[in-house]
């Protein structure tokens, strides 16, 4: 039962007056022939041998009672296909620089075991290896992104890996691949040359890694003389601009196609807090780090512009997402966390940032697909659920390979204890078929905002929309209530004389489509 007193009623009334009295936010969306296309690869994913991401998550093995295709859960395959995941990065993360690919090919019962020294010290049987991963990518119609070992490998081991995967036939590695059951090479364009080389990849300096990178990249070939490889250098940790500067300065352009960047969102690195039971103060701090992505991308891009004015090298944000304490009672090395409306806010704002920086950001990978960090899918035995983050990515996939429409507006602020953040984030694009999509996020925990979007003379009139919102910020889907948070059709989309009007409730994500 709820009890009211007059002062609460009065306060509620005053708040509602304050909300409705706010001026609508004026947004202009324009068409610019020079605007970039939003690469579909910005909507990429990342699956590491970490906790229950691969083993006991994606991969349950051929003998499992859970319906599977070559050991990979069918329900996850379906969910990822629906999501239209454009690429998948594997096998790490930190794991990548401990992974020796030859241990993961050939008959499964003859593969050696290994100990996952970064993540929980568990013993793995190498039953999910390169064939399993690349075949899965084919099933998903997603491009593989192989993050290959540099830190504890050799140029020989590395280049033999490229040969094994890409050589047509007649080379030792290609023949071995054929013996192992795969006649044709796979189509793998994206190769990571190590991971976090400033840390778990070898604790290298930028200067040393630039040299190592040059050496490894020199011997990488797609074996067709068509320079078809997309080599991605291990990039900066958050705001280590020196790292990007050195790579851009010291690596010749013909040896590099992408430079990575890793940045996670959290309350405080040493005190991350619960993924479900958090205060508004913790929410505000998380959003502060999430929104910092805009500064990071702007500044790393500016350095890249200096050395690469023609924009031939991509900024690849191949690890991003929210990072909290593990769920109570779970292995601290497994990074298993729940996923609430806070994560939907991180996803929506980060993707808007990447879209708006599409000229330089050509790929991004959410960490991580299943049961780890900001996952899109969680599993428990035979059960599976889709997280709020999944729904945001699905709502946003309309932007994949669409032309960016520049957006201009002044955001109202979300204020908390004397600090402020921009409450609203927006990006927009136009598909080849002429469909206009505008994605919007309001991170304010309390206030609604009305936005009026001026589309000028764009030839669209039929509008529909989807909204993801919930009653409480901490709301999340559980295995008992897997559909507590799902996108709903937007009831009210007003459109008059080129101006679209929508209301963004507190902590909501909306995508409006005009045809």
Pick 93 or 506: Cβ nearer ligand AHR: 93
Cα of first residue to Cα of last residue in the chain, in angstroms, is 47
Contact 41/86 with Cβ under 8 angstroms?
yes
Pick 258 or 506: Cβ nearer ligand AHR: 258
Q: Which of 319, 328, 420, 452 is catalytic?
A: 319
Residue with tokens 């929980």: 120
Chain position whose Cβ is nearest to ligand AHR: 93
Active site residue 183: no
Dihedral sign of CA atoms 271, 196, 311, 299 in order: positive
Q: What are phi and psi of 382, to 5 degrees?
A: -85, -5
CA–CA gap between residue 369 and residue 393 (Å, rounded)? 12
Active site residue 281: no
Pick 373 or 423: Cβ nearer ligand AHR: 373
> Beta strands 407-408 and 87-90: pairing type?
unpaired
**Residues with Cβ < 8 Å from 500, sequence gap 6 or more?**
438, 452, 453, 455, 463, 493, 494, 512, 514
Q: What are phi and psi of 29, to 5 degrees?
A: -115, 125
Pick 275 or 513: Cβ nearer ligand AHR: 275
Q: Which of 143, 163, 196, 257 is catalytic?
A: 196
Cα–Cα separations (whole angstroms), residue 419 to 273, 285, 291: 20, 10, 14
Contact 338/311 with Cβ under 8 angstroms?
no
CB of 196 to ligand AHR, least distance (A): 5
Pick 47 or 508: Cβ nearer ligand AHR: 47
CA–CA gap between residue 35 and residue 32 (Å, rounded)? 5
CB of 367 to ligand AHR, least distance (A): 4
Q: Within 10 Å of residue 282's Cβ, how many Cβ atoms?
A: 19
CA nearest 474: which of 351, 341, 354? 341
Peptide bond into 91 cis (omega under 30): yes
- CB-count exposure of residue 299 (10 Å: 0-12, 13-18, 19+): middle
Residue length of the chain? 515
CB of 9 to ligand AHR, least distance (A): 48
Pick 70 or 238: Cβ nearer ligand AHR: 238
CB of 498 to ligand AHR, least distance (A): 44
DSSP state of 109: G
Give me the residues that bind ligand AHR (CB under 6 A), please: 48, 92-94, 195-196, 319, 367-368, 373
Contact 62/489 with Cβ under 8 angstroms?
no
Pick 89 or 449: Cβ nearer ligand AHR: 89
Q: Tokens at residue 417, please? A: 């204890």
Catalytic residues: 196, 319
């Amino acid at each position: 039962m709820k009890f009211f007193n007059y002062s609460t009623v009065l306060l509620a009334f005053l708040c509602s007056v304050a909300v409705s009295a706010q001026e609508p936010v004026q947004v202009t969306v324009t068409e610019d022939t020079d605007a970039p296309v939003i690469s579909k690869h910005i909507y990429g994913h990342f699956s590491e041998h970490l906790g229950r991401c691969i083993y006991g998550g994606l991969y349950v093995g051929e003998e499992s009672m859970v319906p599977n295709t070559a050991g990979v859960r069918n329900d996850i395959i379906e969910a990822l296909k629906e999501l239209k995941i454009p690429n998948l990065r594997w096998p790490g993360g930190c794991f990548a620089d401990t992974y020796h690919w030859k241990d993961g090919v050939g008959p499964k019962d003859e593969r050696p075991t290994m100990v996952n020294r970064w993540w929980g010290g568990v013993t793995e049987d190498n039953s999910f290896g390169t064939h399993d991963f690349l075949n899965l990518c084919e099933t998903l119609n997603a491009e593989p992104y192989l993050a290959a070992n540099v830190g504890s490998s050799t140029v020989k081991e590395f280049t033999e890996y490229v040969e094994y995967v890409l050589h047509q036939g007649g080379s030792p590695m290609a023949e071995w691949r054929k013996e192992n059951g795969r006649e044709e090479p796979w189509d793998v364009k994206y190769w990571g040359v190590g991971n976090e080389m400033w840390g778990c990849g070898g604790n290298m300096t930028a200067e040393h890694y630039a040299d190592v990178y040059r050496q490894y990249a020199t011997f990488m070939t797609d074996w067709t003389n068509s320079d078809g490889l997309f080599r991605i250098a291990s990039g900066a940790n958050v705001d280590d601009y020196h790292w990007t500067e050195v790579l851009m300065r010291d690596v010749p352009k013909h040896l590099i196609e992408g430079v990575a960047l890793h940045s996670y969102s959290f309350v405080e690195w040493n005190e991350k807090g619960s993924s479900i039971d958090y205060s508004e103060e913790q929410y505000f701090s998380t959003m502060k780090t999430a929104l910092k992505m805009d500064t990071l991308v702007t500044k790393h891009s500016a350095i890249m512009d200096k050395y690469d004015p023609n924009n031939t090298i991509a900024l690849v944000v191949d690890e991003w997402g929210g990072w909290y304490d593990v769920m109570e009672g779970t292995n601290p090395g497994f990074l298993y966390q729940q996923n609430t409306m806070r994560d939907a806010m991180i996803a929506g704002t980060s993707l808007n940032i990447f879209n708006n920086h599409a000229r330089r950001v050509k790929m991004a990978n959410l960490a991580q697909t299943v049961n780890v960090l900001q996952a899109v899918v969680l599993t428990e035995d035979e059960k599976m659920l889709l997280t709020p983050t999944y729904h945001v990515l699905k709502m946003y996939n309309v932007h994949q390979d669409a032309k960016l429409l520049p957006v201009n507006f002044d955001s109202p602020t979300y204020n908390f204890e004397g600090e402020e953040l921009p409450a609203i984030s927006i990006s927009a694009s136009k598909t080849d078929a002429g469909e206009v999509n505008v994605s919007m996020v309001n991170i304010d925990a309390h206030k609604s905002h009305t936005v009026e979007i001026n589309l000028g003379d764009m030839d669209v009139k039929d509008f529909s929309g989807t909204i993801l919102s919930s009653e409480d910020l901490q709301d999340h889907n559980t295995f008992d209530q897997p559909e507590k948070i799902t996108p709903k059709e937007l009831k009210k989309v007003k459109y008059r004389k080129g101006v679209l009007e929508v209301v963004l409730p507190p902590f909501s994500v909306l995508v409006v489509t005009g045809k």
